[in-house]
Structure 1
Amino acid sequence: MSRDQKITKYPLYPLYPFPKNDLELEQDAKCSKLLHELMKKVWGGNFVSPIEQELKNKKDFKVLDVGCGTTCSWILELSKTYPLAKFIGLDLLTPLLPKDFSQNNLQFVQSDILKGLPFEDGSIDFVHMRCLTAAFTERQWEEVVIKELVRVCKPGGWIELLEIDVDGKSLGPTSKRIISACMAKFENRGVNGLISEEIPEFFESTNQVEIYAEEKYSPIGNWGDELGKLALDFFVSIFSSSDELIEWIKLII
């Protein structure tokens, strides 16, 4: 798509830095696919919760992917792998589905979690959400997002969140300047770039869940073999996916 083509504005959260038009949406789709492959490599699969047997054998086992994105990479793959389960993808935007899409066990809902998830209490067996650090303020995470995830999850069900710490580890001077600028911008918007450190406490405050937290590290760069190269491609894609992010970087490098 060329820069002189029609640009459509998309109604995303005011805090969220991408995507906001057709051009950014196209780049974001590439970024989302890279993210999906990166997370699979880092975590050794599409999920860590012990639900494999239920996905395989339990008819109508319900899975909700909150913020599935327009590419829906995670939920598309799982719906094909586990045909007995029922999958729901939820996002603010309409999904960009493959032309040959015909998954009877997968449906999409266009909705905003901040206005309440459109599902009954205790109706979902497995709730999944990832990489939405920049979408919500810390207050929204604590007062709305976490509580909604817990509300719709069945007793004995599972909620799995995956967030990437924005600050990174062992960064070089240029990367440190970029990350510092992003963290400052997030802070001005009320966004906590290290919200993953607070999420366990938010869950604990509901008094309804048992909590398990785990950290994984990934190299970023060609020195890190296949995983490092994939991570580099992903982060380069992130910082070129939004005009706003590009402008941030121009100010500091």
Structure 2
Amino acid sequence: MVKTLASLLDSSFSRIQFTPDLLPSDITGSSIYNMKEHAFQTLKGPIFTNVLLADEINRTPAKTQAALLEAMEEKQVTIQGETYALPDFFFVAATQNPIEFEGTYPLPEAQQDRFFFKLKIDFPNLAEETAVLQMIIEEQRNPQELSAMFTNETLAEVQKKIKEVHISNEIADYIIKIVRKTRELEHIQYGASTRAAIAIAKTAQAWAYLDNRDYITPDDVKVVSIPSLRHRIQLSPYAELEGSDIDETIQELVGSIAVPR
């Protein structure tokens, strides 16, 4: 899915399979001594791309996971003291293995905070699963090349228009109240950071743009709140023992905040 997205955006794509023996330099790159030229040469790693898929990111230790922190936050990579800028259009999509937990390393809260969304992908229903099977069979018989829907220039223009979507003071206050509320409830052990408010605001702008509007409504905020917050807050142990669901908790929390008029 991520590779298809990169193709549609006319962007470069890299995939890294995270394993316990993966090293940070396998992601960022390294410097090697060139015997022929008698000088050190920098070999850039797969992180130098537009769209990066970190597959099964929880299968590698925290040291290697941390190799993504600088790139995700500052859009740059440091190799042997030298800093290299990443492309203007760069983002990371990661998957986690939800079944086998033996030999996995949960992402630190600081790194989870750098992801805008956490999406849950469940099994498809009967009709959808049948359609997927049929689609694969037909593609094997007659493979189709994907053509890009956006050029780099068009994508940059869309990003510019999204940033121009208006966020009123009332909506900004509404977003901050939602985030601060996550730090006040007893059944939430760890609340959301300021990054969560930024993520909600930016994704609400994109949602409004997709709806052909140049302003954000409270409904836009409600739509993006769950995927923006579900990986940024942690329920207390007693709430988990009682069977509380993180999505339902966020929905109730958002519903308890007065909607601006």
TM-score using structure 2 length: 0.29
Bigger Cα Rg: 2
TM-score using structure 1 length: 0.30
Query: RCO greater where, 1 or 2, for CA within 8 Å and sep 6 or more?
Result: 1
